[in-house]
Amino acid sequence: MKTVSRTPLLALVCVSLLTHTLSAQDHVWPQFRGPNCSGIAAEGEKPPITFGPQRNVLWKTPLPLGHSSPCIWGDRIFVTGCDKSKKELYVVCVDRKTGSIRWEKTIAVERFYKAHGMNNAATATATTDGERVYAYFSSYEIACYDNEGNPVWSQSLPDPQSFNGSASSPILARDYVILNRDGNKNAHFLCLNKHNGDLIWKVDLPPPLESEGFLTSHSTPVVWKDQFITHRAGEIAVYDIESGERTCWYTSFSTGASTPVVVNDIIYVATWHSFGESHFRGKIPEFEAMTNKYDTDEDKLLSKTEIPDDLYLAVRPELMDVQDTKLSARHVFDYIDKNKDSQVNQVEWSDFTNEVVTAWYFDHGLIALDPEKNEKGSLPSSAVLWKEVNDVPEVPTPICLRDRIYMIKNGGIVSCMNAQTGELLFRDRLEAKGLYISSPVAANNMIYIASRNGIISVFEAGDTLNVLAKNDLEDKIMATPAIVDNKIYVRTAEHLYAFGE
């Protein structure tokens, strides 16, 4: 094993969308989850099944903080990073064969914006077209570098004020860079000329469903024909690449975290929201009971500090020990307080609880959607070919392999459905509990999925769960692995690993 030291400051990078068919010789994984976010390695790739800190390690390179996934073209790996104490963002180019740092670039920022406790400023995965790399930091800027690290162009971007920070990655389509810049202020899609950064179009995003108004999407767009598909809070939508026009959409209660997968003109999306399954839901007291118990100044109103922090509207039973995985009434106080007087009155509380109860009647789920049911406008309910409503992942994107759809839920629960019919083929639990943020990837009929606790389980694609290995990397994993050249590249909280035989 070779351990490579960091040079003083690490750099930032961007991942690209590849639209032509790849072979294993291309050594390309050009954006989040590889070609068009599919998670599928090129035909013939055979990465190791068993690996870890002391097994099948080719090299191990320290990295700065960041959740962005490896982006690969040829012998270059691009990742991003950040250092909150120094107020710096990084784009890093790593030599794929040796693990040494080829170059690194630093972007100084005035301040770091508020984000979820498990998010950070370097969550978006870079994209590359083999000539340049495009690195996006959602609340700061997008920067383009050539393969040698020379700056080509950059653009500072206003903070979209995403509720939990952003995790959406840029994509390349034709000669454009497309960004999902969802947020609570000035939410929009942005299309830039990849050669010079000039604005092609900017399209304001419609507001999310009212009951999910405090949420913003984190998913990465995927290309379909001459359009791209997005999953936002409350909808799955199709947009024209050239004009940015929203052509058709399907309304669905969802937080918009999981990226769509497109196979044979069918969109598969894991729509999830906090109240989607009965065991998520907390008990919501009546306003009178709230004021009787918590209204310390007896003004028949509730301030933010009067609402207890442990009044949970929704919980994740598998994740009670993880920061910010419980949705409390205090957490969404600003949304409940419609008139913005820093107090919640009986009408505001009743309106909000009615929205929540209404949401309980809308199951979330993994859906198979036919976007061609309508050429334009809202898609009818008949556009949903099937829907699986149980054990749906909050963040990880599903993977489609050999006419089977696999999804992984927090707690290590794997479900497999027939991609055509939605028939549940199995639902089983991995011996790797905890939170799952990383999305599954696949090669050689094997599926690799990493838990936040650092366990990468490898199981064989099929109609039963056949786990072949449980690899403990002894560090947290939030990023999605990349697979090229019979190797798997894994970013942990502190390192980038290359594993191969």
Summarize pLDDT for 272-327 with one digit per residue, the tens. Answer: 887 777 777 778 889 999 999 999 999 999 999 999 888 888 777 666 556 556 77
CA distance 431 to 416: 17
- Answer yes or no: are the C-beta atoms of 133 and 147 closer than 8 Å: yes
Average pLDDT, the chain: 87
Tokens of 456: 């990468």
Owner of token pair 């050239």 = 242
* The CATH number, out of the four listed (1.20.910, 1.10.238, 3.30.200, 3.40.50), of the domain defined by the range 278-359: 1.10.238
**Domain boundaries for CATH 1.10.238 within the chain:** 278-359
- The CA distance from 168 to 162, in Å, is 11
Taking residues 43-47, what's their average pLDDT?
Answer: 96
Q: Are 453 and 446 in contact (CB under 8 A)?
A: no
pLDDT band at 161 (very low <50, low <70, confident <90, very high): low
Q: Looking at mean pLDDT, say which of 137-146, 223-232, 267-276 comes out highest.
A: 223-232
Confidence of residue 119 (pLDDT cuts 50, 70, 90): low
Instruction: Please write the tens of the pLDDT for every residue from 392-413.
Output: 998 999 999 999 999 999 999 9
**Backbone torsion region of residue 453, taken as left when φ is above 0, otherwise alpha when ψ lies between -120 and 50, otherwise beta:** alpha
- Rounded to 10°, the helix 346-359/287-294 angle is 130
The pLDDT of residue 163: 61
436: closest CA among 281, 352, 319, 271? Answer: 319
From 69-83, 114-128, 139-153, 164-178, the region with the lowest mean pLDDT:
114-128
Rounded average pLDDT over 150-167: 80
Task: Name the token pair of 250.
Answer: 């399907």
State yes or no: pLDDT of 234 exceeds 70.
yes
Residue 477 contacts by C-beta under 8 Å, 6 or more apart in sequence? 437, 438, 450, 451, 452, 453, 454, 456, 490, 491, 492, 493
Pick the residue with more confidence: 93 or 138? 93
0.85 exceeded by pTM: yes
The confidence band for 423, taking pLDDT boundaries of 50, 70 and 90, is very high
- Of 319 and 474, which is predicted with more confidence? 474
Q: What pLDDT is stored for residue 360 in this prediction?
A: 61
Decide if pLDDT at 207 tops 70.
no
Report the C-alpha gap between 464 and 468 in whole angstroms.
Answer: 12
C-alpha pair distances (Å), 481 with each of 47, 173, 189, 308, 385: 11, 22, 27, 40, 30
On the question of pLDDT at 77 being above 50, the answer is yes
Confidence (pLDDT) at 18: 38
Portions of the chain given CATH number 2.40.128.630: 1-205+478-501
Tell me the β-bridge partners of 77: 72, 94
**Is 260 a residue whose pLDDT tops 80?**
yes
User: What integer pLDDT is reported at residue 159 of this predicted model?
Assistant: 73
Question: What is the pLDDT at residue 212?
Answer: 43
For the purposes of burial, counting CB atoms within 10 Å of the CB of 117, is it exposed (0-12), middle (13-18) or buried (19 or more)?
exposed
253/204 Cα distance (integer angstroms): 20
CATH topology of domain 1-205+478-501: Lipocalin (2.40.128)
For residue 21, the model assigns a pLDDT of: 46
pLDDT of residue 111: 76
Q: Is 349 helix (H, G, I), strand (E, B) or coil?
A: helix
- Dihedral over alpha carbons 349, 353, 354, 360 (to 10 degrees): 170
Cα gap 435→388, rounded to integer Å:
21
DSSP state of 318: G
Radius of gyration of the chain (CA): 22
Q: Give me the pLDDT at residue 327, please.
A: 75
- Across the range 491-496, mean pLDDT stands at 96
The answer for residues whose C-beta is within 8 angstroms of residue 488's C-beta and 6 or more apart is: 47, 48, 51, 441, 443, 448, 481, 482, 498, 499, 500
Mean of the pLDDT values across residues 111-135?
Answer: 84
Q: What is the pLDDT of residues 210-222, one digit of tens each?
A: 444 445 677 899 9
Q: Which residues, including other chains, have CB under 8 Å from residue 218's CB and lie 6 or more apart? A: 162, 164, 166, 167, 168, 182, 255, 256, 257, 395
Find all residues with CB under 8 Å of 71, minimum gap 6, and list them.
13, 14, 15, 16, 29, 30, 31, 32, 77, 78, 79, 125, 126, 127, 128, 133, 482
- Percent above pLDDT 90 for the chain: 67
Rounded to whole angstroms, how far apart are CA atoms 262 and 416?
17
The tokens of 491 are what? 């970013």
